[in-house]
Amino acid sequence: MHDVKVVREFFEKEAMSWEREHGPDSERKDGFQAVYSVLRSIVESFPQPPKLLDMGCGTGAHLRLLSPIVRSAVGLDLAEGMINEAKALAERQIGPNSNLTFIRFDASDIENIGNLRNDMRDFDMVMIVGALEHMLEREKLLRTLHDICTPDCQLVVVSPSKFSIPFLIERVRNFGNPPRLCPSDTHFSLGKLKKVALQCGWSFQFARPIVAPPSHYAGGPTKLMYQLDKGRAALPILRFFGTYCGVFTPTRGAV
Ligand SMILES: C[S@@+](CC[C@H](N)C(=O)[O-])C[C@H]1O[C@@H](n2cnc3c(N)ncnc32)[C@H](O)[C@@H]1O
């Protein structure tokens, strides 16, 4: 059963070790870097430093690194432990007066985002990194994000594709049991995301495969794809079996 309580409990448990296991200095640092470099290139494509919202920010590692090139950024996350870590790490690494704000918030409650602070609008960029697949009521979320963005906003979604190797491994390991966190039948492939996003006022701009080196997801098939990708031969395959980054902008005159 895909339930926000289950998702929250899972990530509360992960919070203290998240940075160590998934952050920029972790064993998976190459995978982190693969995502970060795509995010950074999108931030750098704005004529002025953007105002950024990170929905499902975890411990805020991407935001800390993006801090010098954004005007301001808000990181929201369901898990209190993630937010506490994000605040502590930002204070330690950037200082008390950084341009980053972290607040505990459930994306299912998106219609009340304005109650958090009175400047929770006019975002130039919204990113949802490895998190949309865990969220419920995604249509309501995408519609409301549209309403709190600037007309030239970029919505950036990074998510494992439905047939990504880690998902397939998880499915085989868990065969016969209900999925723990992200049921693959409700998971958004890039194709599904494009369709739903369009209905919610977002036009698809472009997609990039996230090419994570083998340290990210150890395993023969991933290693093979990475080797192939060095020659740029496997990009279409990676789009299908790897992690995608989809970028959207508000449809003119929509919703
Ligand atoms: C896989 S982690 C990714 C964290 C971070 N974006 C990163 O790239 O390191 C997914 C995050 O989404 C958060 N999350 C899951 N469901 C959420 C919800 N309904 N509202 C807000 N955050 C949520 C989790 O607490 C977790 O920190």
130 lines ligand 1 (CB under 6 A): yes
**Protein residue with least CA distance to atom 12, ligand 1:** 56
Q: Of 231, 187, 189, which Cα lies nearest the Cα of 211?
A: 231
The rounded Cα 25 to chain-centroid distance in angstroms is 19
Specify the pTM: 0.89
82 lines ligand 1 (CB under 6 A): yes
Q: Which architecture does CATH list for 4-250? A: 3-Layer(aba) Sandwich (3.40)
89 lines ligand 1 (CB under 6 A): no
* Residue 66, Ramachandran bin (φ over 0: left; ψ between -120 and 50: alpha; else beta): alpha
77 lines ligand 1 (CB under 6 A): yes
C-alpha to C-alpha distances, 84 to 102, 171, 233, nearest whole angstrom: 8, 32, 42
Residues 97-151 have pLDDT tens digits of 999 999 999 999 999 999 999 999 999 999 999 999 889 899 999 999 999 999 9
Query: By percentage, how much of the chain surpasses pLDDT 70?
Result: 77
